Structure 1
Amino acid sequence: MQLTQTLHSAADTRPDHLATVDGDRRKSWAELRERIARLAGALQALGVEAGDRVAILALNTDRYTEYMFAVWWAGGAVVPMNTRWSAAENVYSLNDSQTTILFVDRHFAAMIGDIRDQAETVSTIIHLEEEDVPEGMLSFEQLIADHDPCPDACRSGEDLAGLFYTGGTTGFPKGVMVPQRALWYNNIALAGMAGFTSDSVYQHTAPMFHMADIACGGAVMMAGGTHIYVPSFEPVSILSAIEANQVTHVLLVPTMLGMMLQHPEFDVTKLRSMTHYLYGASPMPEGLLRHAMALLPEVKFAQAYGQTEMAPLVSILNSVDHVLEGEKAKQIRSAGRPAWGCEVKIIDEQGKPVPRGTVGEIAARSPGNMLGYWKQQKQTASTLVDGWVHTGDGAYQDKDGFLYIVDRMKDMIVSGGENVFSAEVESAISTHPDVAAVAVVGIPSEQWGESVHAIVIPKDNTTPDAQSIISHCKDQIAGYKCPRSIDFRNEPFPLSGAGKVLKRELRAPYWEGQERSVN
């Protein structure tokens, strides 16, 4: 299970086939492999050894794919950084991972000063652009031109493929250790279940640091299809790129799809080449799904459910299960059935399986399992139990094996496809000088699925306002993690016998009248 095998296979069998398209840049599979081998040679010359971490902070680009495979070819492990994080969060992940080399594009130049000053182990910064390479950085293209190809390190199996940082229950991001084996499994499972072939043309629309896009990009590599890149989501440019490149496969989180369909310049004829639409990261509102399926009757819709700890695939609601009428119509409210090679069980608080139809926590195991959390033995032990990943999602499974997610066992909010751990937001708010206590919960949002909501108890003789607290947060955490609304109260929070804040009681009024406690 060696990730670079997919590259070798495509380059050996389809050397002249189009591999990547980024604006005017077009590379065949043979050209792509040559560039990756040379970049890997440059990384080894810079000192990269087996297991060393190499990070990237960039928008979507063909060079992102070249970076990932060059790191694996050289023997290292990737650290894709969240482009929406603050400088402080990115510095934390660089220091925590002990990253030595950072790739960066021009969009994040403003952060480089803080990174240089505070990232203790970063010794080399590589600029992804062809021109205007800032002083003190190395040129991506020059490194490829100046170095000979090196032998493939052939890392595989349990070797670390990357650290993928996600929100933490302790208030700090945690690095999920994903082995080569896990990504390799996800590549082949998703390629088979989502209809990727050598003729597929996949557009990188979701952020490339996100595990959902990494899985789809890996499926394209496995099939030997074609990658199309757009820097970031913007409805008009996405539509134009799909039409111009005759894209067949697209991944959009539901909020992106809604924004595209509602845009005044939306034109369904630009999507005539599409054969497959994948969605995930957050559930699809049923009304939006029905509208999209009516607009695109020839497109096969599929939903994937997973999490970073599974790299990420747990289950898939396949196109054949997207039924809008009759007895099976209820299945579109589910997260599908377990993916190929993935076992799922619903367990109670003691870890014992519950009967079908009973709500419990989803536990899953597959070749996609993580190795654990980087330098977090306690969190690893509580999440990875006897080979099963405890997902923290509350659900039931029907007699046909479909999963229906109804709650979250852990204190997490999913807003616009991004995971937000309440502890991170509470930690930021708690440093406001007028805040005595705070609890953060997810509340329903028509646009984002869930939105971050804070409940604040002010300090005596103070009257903080919502905007001052939100502005305070933006200096410390990413904008999407900041509360979108705040309520103030004077009475103490409800507590459990162990003294913990009863979040479910705080959330309950906002979810009253809904059949489940998550969107």
Structure 2
Amino acid sequence: MQQSNLSDPADVMACYREIERELTTAGAPFETVPVDVAGDTVRSYRRAAPDFYTAVAEFGDRFGDHVLVTDETGSRTYHEILDRAGRLAAALRDRYGIGPGDRVGIMMANRAEYPVTLFAVARLGAVAVLYNSRSSATEIADAIADVPSAVVVADPKRVEILRAVAAPARLVCTDPAGPEDVPAVDELLADGGDPGAHRPADPDSICLVLFTSGTSGRAKGVALTHRNIGNVVLNMKFVSECNIRFASRQYGIEVDDLRSFMPAMSPLLVFPLFHVSGLAGLLIGMSTGGRIVTMARWDPAHAAELVERYRLTLAAGPPMAVDELLAQPDAAQRLSSLVNLAPGGQANPPNVSRRIATVLPAAQRSVGWGMTETGGSVCTAGGVLLAAFPDTLGPMSPTMDVRVVDAAGIPVPAGEIGELELHGGLVAAEYLGPGADSAVFHDHWLRTGDLGYLDEYELVYIVDRSKDIIIAAGENISCLEVESVLAATDEFAEVAVFGVPDRRLGERVVAAVTLRAGVSRTAAEIVESARRSLPAYKLPTEIRFDLSPLPRNATGKLLKRELRARYLARDTAS
């Protein structure tokens, strides 16, 4: 096969569009077709699995004896995980009456029981509600109240929290060492009968609920359908096939020859599985027969040991985590198995890209853009495409449309900045709970709250976020939520919370406050008071008293961009 010269950006994009046409045309593996969803026409992959369980069962059939999950207790194969999922499904059905459409909550750290429970719920056609296991007790109580579940499967630590916040009585514990009066997963597995043949669910019924922070401060449940997940899985395969065909043209090697020696994507799972990026890591690994290695908590030295021991090929996590992993002693040798690094969950600081290029120059760095409301990435760039367009987040998925609109909702031309809106087979069905904002799903378009533009090649670029959200180490933090906690003491005349760049976390939380007359409080006292209501990752890293009066416009609206600029100017001056 003849090698192609892909040094010119225009040639790179022409090559990409040619590959895209090859893969999505009628009869091709990634053919797209119009489908009706709730009265709207969206594009969907023709060959997408009809439901979530069908997708994962296919991976079990293909890779049954491969190790699927390695956690601190050992390893389990694809067959073992799916066998346990089947028996747990039967027990949930027989003991608790769980069936199609019923909700089953999952609240635990990353471990083998997570996919077992997730797939058991999917096999029943029920809805898996992925509660944030890192939330405070108050936040957990809110999530349970907003999106209640018939049963919650949790690890011992979360069982105690759930009991403390008066959660539903029907709890299942992951460990036999949990409370005596709470049945353990192993007990249910022992009782589990025959789950019966799987009957695919309605593609447009809900299969997953994940939570995302919003500007209202209270996390919202995002309802993803079986069709969404089927498209997510096939879209991952599409991106992988594009990369193979790009490399084939670049190096003059036949596609089948390249595919034959490409390793499976075996990720170090840094993101929690209740996070959309954690779910993506699980599905990416499964789609190639890879091993997913979990960690109870982030420790860069231990992470390097795991990569070296299991010859892992993918490291995806917050930029902070990727940077700390690559900073370990002898990283170039010990981490040489990594062929793909994907810092994500937030903007990628330049220092992380530089470290990847320095430590593992042969590894591919990939970037993307997506959100909980799309089940993961809607656009991705890596390899030769990212080299040609280093600032882009990639072209849109074949099942997705994107437009850029001004403040009035009018589309703007290429190159002009506006809010990005999305439409297509990856967009979630709705929000659940009282914090839901139906206006975000406007006329079948998702208002992302992200500001950006499209270039002449229809590549996506992000320049800012209009949503008042801080992303620290991949975790979404609502400014309004933190402000509400601080203001609850009634000691401040005004409070504003905002994010500032941080080399390690990506962003960190800063609070600007004006004390009421006669009130005296130190920064340490303010943070300690907030600790009673907020988890550690949401606490302000800095309290500033010297930014008052806070900048406001003529109507009294706080100008956070100006406040942030004022902070940065004073920080630089000092």
- Compute the TM-score of the two structures, normalised by the length of structure 2: 0.82
Check 1:389–1:513 CA distance in 2 against 1; reply closer, same or farther (3 A cut). farther
User: Percent of counterpart pairs with the same letter?
Assistant: 26
Q: What is the CA deviation profile of residues 98-127 of structure 1, one whole-angstrom value per residue up to 9, with x for unaligned ones?
A: 122122223445524413xx32xx122111
* 1:437 positional shift: 2.2
Contact map agreement 1:344 1:363 (CA 8 A) in 2 = yes
Distance 2:560 2:59 in 1: 50
Query: Which residue among 173, 180, 184 is the counterpart of 1:139?
Result: 184
Aligned partner letter, 1:181: R
Q: Provide the residue aligned with 1:257 in structure 2.
A: 322
Distance 1:51 1:94 in 2: 17
1:360 has 2:408 as partner: no
- Bigger Rg, which one: 2
**Aligned partner of residue 43 in structure 1, secondary structure:** helix
* 1:138 positional shift: 0.9
- 1:201-216 superposed matches below 5 A: 201-216=266-281
Aligned partner letter, 2:404: I
Q: Provide the residue aligned with 1:371 in structure 2.
A: 429
1:169 has 2:234 as partner: no
Aligned partner letter, 1:357: G
1:272 has 2:336 as partner: yes
Contact map agreement 1:56 1:103 (CA 8 A) in 2 = yes
Q: What is the CA deviation profile of residues 171-230 of structure 1, one whole-angstrom value per residue up to 9, with x for unaligned ones?
A: 211111111211221122123314698833233222111101102212333344333323
Contact map agreement 2:81 2:115 (CA 8 A) in 1 = no
Contact map agreement 2:220 2:435 (CA 8 A) in 1 = no
* 1:309 positional shift: 1.0
**Aligned partner of residue 437 in structure 2, secondary structure:** helix
Query: Which residue among 79, 82, 98 is the counterpart of 1:30?
Result: 79
1:486 has 2:543 as partner: yes
1:293 has 2:357 as partner: yes
Check 1:301–1:491 CA distance in 2 against 1; reply closer, same or farther (3 A cut). closer
Check 1:322–1:490 CA distance in 2 against 1; reply closer, same or farther (3 A cut). closer
Distance 2:456 2:568 in 1: 27
Q: Provide the residue aligned with 2:518 in structure 1.
A: 461
Distance 2:86 2:276 in 1: 24
Aligned partner letter, 2:399: G
**Aligned partner of residue 390 in structure 2, secondary structure:** helix
Aligned partner letter, 1:486: I
Aligned partner letter, 1:33: L
Q: What is the CA deviation profile of residues 368-396 of structure 1, one whole-angstrom value per residue up to 9, with x for unaligned ones?
A: 1111110358612x211122111111112
Aligned partner letter, 2:370: G
1:348 has 2:394 as partner: no
Aligned partner letter, 1:352: I
Check 1:41–1:248 CA distance in 2 against 1; reply closer, same or farther (3 A cut). same
The root-mean-square deviation of aligned C-alpha atoms, in Å, is 2.4
Q: Provide the residue aligned with 1:508 in structure 2.
A: 565
Between stretches 73-82 and 491-500, larger displacement belongs to: 491-500
Distance 1:295 1:344 in 2: 35
Distance 2:355 2:560 in 1: 35
Query: Which residue among 282, 293, 313 is the counterpart of 1:248?
Result: 313
Check 1:441–1:19 CA distance in 2 against 1; reply closer, same or farther (3 A cut). closer
Contact map agreement 1:203 1:242 (CA 8 A) in 2 = yes
Check 1:433–1:378 CA distance in 2 against 1; reply closer, same or farther (3 A cut). closer
Distance 1:308 1:283 in 2: 16
Query: Which residue among 478, 490, 493 is the counterpart of 1:436?
Result: 493
Distance 1:454 1:271 in 2: 38
Contact map agreement 2:218 2:435 (CA 8 A) in 1 = no
Q: What is the CA deviation profile of residues 437-461 of structure 1, one whole-angstrom value per residue up to 9, with x for unaligned ones?
A: 2111112222222211111122221
Contact map agreement 1:49 1:75 (CA 8 A) in 2 = yes
Q: Provide the residue aligned with 1:157 in structure 2.
A: 203
Distance 1:257 1:164 in 2: 24
**Aligned partner of residue 332 in structure 1, secondary structure:** coil
Aligned partner letter, 2:534: I
Aligned partner letter, 2:418: G
* 1:467 positional shift: 1.6
Check 1:510–1:457 CA distance in 2 against 1; reply closer, same or farther (3 A cut). closer
Aligned partner letter, 1:139: A
Q: Provide the residue aligned with 2:98 in structure 1.
A: 48
* 1:494 positional shift: 3.7
Q: Provide the residue aligned with 2:33 in structure 1.
A: none
Contact map agreement 1:260 1:266 (CA 8 A) in 2 = no
Query: Which residue among 226, 229, 232 is the counterpart of 2:297?
Result: 232
Between stretches 152-161 and 95-104, larger displacement belongs to: 152-161
1:181 has 2:230 as partner: no
Aligned partner letter, 2:361: P
* 1:239 positional shift: 1.3
1:384 has 2:436 as partner: no
Distance 2:111 2:562 in 1: 45
Contact map agreement 1:194 1:318 (CA 8 A) in 2 = no
Contact map agreement 2:89 2:195 (CA 8 A) in 1 = yes
Q: What is the CA deviation profile of residues 130-164 of structure 1, one whole-angstrom value per residue up to 9, with x for unaligned ones?
A: x4131221111121121113133522421111221
Distance 2:435 2:55 in 1: 33
Distance 1:275 1:171 in 2: 38
Q: Provide the residue aligned with 2:483 in structure 1.
A: 426
Number of equivalent positions: 501
Q: Provide the residue aligned with 2:25 in structure 1.
A: none
Distance 1:77 1:70 in 2: 10
Query: Which residue among 501, 516, 533 is the counterpart of 1:476?
Result: 533
* 1:366 positional shift: 2.3
* 1:362 positional shift: 1.1
1:72 has 2:122 as partner: yes
Check 1:228–1:377 CA distance in 2 against 1; reply closer, same or farther (3 A cut). closer
- Compute the TM-score of the two structures, normalised by the length of structure 1: 0.90
**Aligned partner of residue 483 in structure 2, secondary structure:** helix
Q: Provide the residue aligned with 1:517 in structure 2.
A: none
**Aligned partner of residue 138 in structure 1, secondary structure:** coil
5+ residue gaps, structure 1, are 515-519
1:315 has 2:315 as partner: no
Distance 1:373 1:228 in 2: 31
Distance 2:71 2:544 in 1: 46
Query: Which residue among 30, 50, 55 is the counterpart of 1:6?
Result: 55
5+ residue gaps, structure 2, are 1-49, 244-261
Q: What is the CA deviation profile of residues 447-502 of structure 1, one whole-angstrom value per residue up to 9, with x for unaligned ones?
A: 22221111112222112221222112221122222211122269554444554322
